[in-house]
């Protein structure tokens, strides 16, 4: 089993005719993801990916014609909020926004709107989702993971890849990998994902990859202590980051003594999480 995406996922790609959109749509299609439509205003009526995917001018028309149950967004940052609104208004239940650099004020409005609509957003500024052997939605390489029973949730893209590959090297696979993104305001949180993994009968253990900045990991630790019955393993990036300097993600900044790696590691360990010093150690920790 899996969470969020599987063989039944019917995916719409917003921005499919752009360079990034077309490249990654092809990768997703080759992996086996069912891409039912693409959207680029002004390109309606065209077919892309060797004539396999129709392009529509709007998400509304595409949704009416092809009944997608997920959308992935590859559009420039200044258009991303409108793209998310458009997907939500078409009643698509799962929206994945890969784009980085989406303004925080835009995301504040988007988050409020999605909460009213009941749609789930993953991202922005995230690598997306991968259920090995079933579907990939986003930019996570499909060849670095095999099907298994370890759920992975991460704020970092590249560290996600490292952990997935380390698991595969040890013969262990992932049920689903969820890249939630590193922006200060995003759609799906650590807690949201932990709750889904806790309820998934095919996920036996969970890996949480965090980083400096904010208090999401501390909140996740509190949730783990009070609600998780499955073992959780962790890694926190940014131990050597200087205060006040942004490291990578927009949300990865230590300010006012809050959000340090030490605080997050302490909170997770207090909640019973085994925290690795290096991401490639996690596979050995799970294997025992």
Point out the residues that are catalytic: 249
Q: In what order do the strands lie in the sheet with 147-154?
A: 135-138, 128-131, 174-179, 147-154, 205-211, 232-237, 274-275
- HEC states along the chain? CCCCCCCCCEEEEECCCCHHHHHHHHHHHHHCCEEEEEECCCCCCCEECCCCEEEECCHHHHHHHHCCCEEEECCCHHHHHHHHHHHHHCCCCEEEECCCCCCHHHHHHHHHHHHHHCCEEECCCCCEEEECCCEEEECCCHHHCCEEEEEEEECCHHHHHHHHHHHHHCCCCEEEEEECCCCCCCCCCHHHHHHHHHCCCCCCEEEEEEECCCCHHHHHHHHHHHHCCCCEEEEEECCCCCCCCCCCCCCCCCECCECCHHHHHHHHHHCCCEECCCHHHHHHHHHC
Q: Would you say 67 and 92 are in contact if contact means Cβ atoms under 8 Å apart?
A: no
């Amino acid at each position: 089993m899996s969470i969020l995406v599987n063989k039944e996922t019917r995916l719409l790609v917003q921005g499919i005719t752009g360079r990034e959109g077309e490249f990654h749509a092809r990768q997703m299609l080759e992996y086996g993801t069912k891409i039912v439509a693409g959207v680029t205003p002004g390109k309606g009526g065209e077919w892309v990916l060797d004539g396999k995917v129709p392009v529509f001018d709007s998400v509304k028309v595409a949704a009416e014609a092809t009944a997608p149950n997920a959308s992935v967004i590859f559009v420039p940052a200044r258009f991303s909020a409108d793209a998310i609104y458009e997907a939500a208004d078409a009643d698509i239940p799962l929206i994945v926004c890969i784009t980085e650099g989406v303004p925080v004020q835009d995301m504040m409005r988007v988050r409020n709107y999605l909460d009213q609509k009941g749609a789930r957003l993953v991202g922005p500024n995230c690598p997306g989702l991968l259920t090995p052997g079933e579907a990939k939605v986003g930019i996570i390489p499909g060849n670095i993971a095999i099907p298994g029973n370890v759920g992975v949730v991460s704020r970092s893209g590249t560290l996600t890849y490292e952990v997935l590959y380390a698991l595969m090297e040890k013969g262990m696979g992932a049920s689903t990998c969820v890249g939630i993104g590193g922006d200060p305001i995003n759609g799906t949180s650590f807690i949201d994902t932990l709750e889904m993994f806790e309820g998934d009968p095919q996920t036996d253990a969970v890996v949480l990859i965090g980083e400096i900045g904010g208090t999401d990991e501390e909140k996740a630790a509190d949730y783990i202590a009070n609600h998780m019955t499955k073992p959780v393993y962790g890694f926190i990036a940014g131990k050597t980051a200087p205060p006040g300097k942004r490291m990578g993600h927009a949300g990865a900044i230590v300010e006012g003594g809050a959000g340090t790696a030490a605080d997050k590691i302490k909170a997770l360990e207090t909640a019973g999480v085994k925290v690795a010093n290096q991401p490639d150690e996690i596979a050995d920790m799970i294997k025992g």
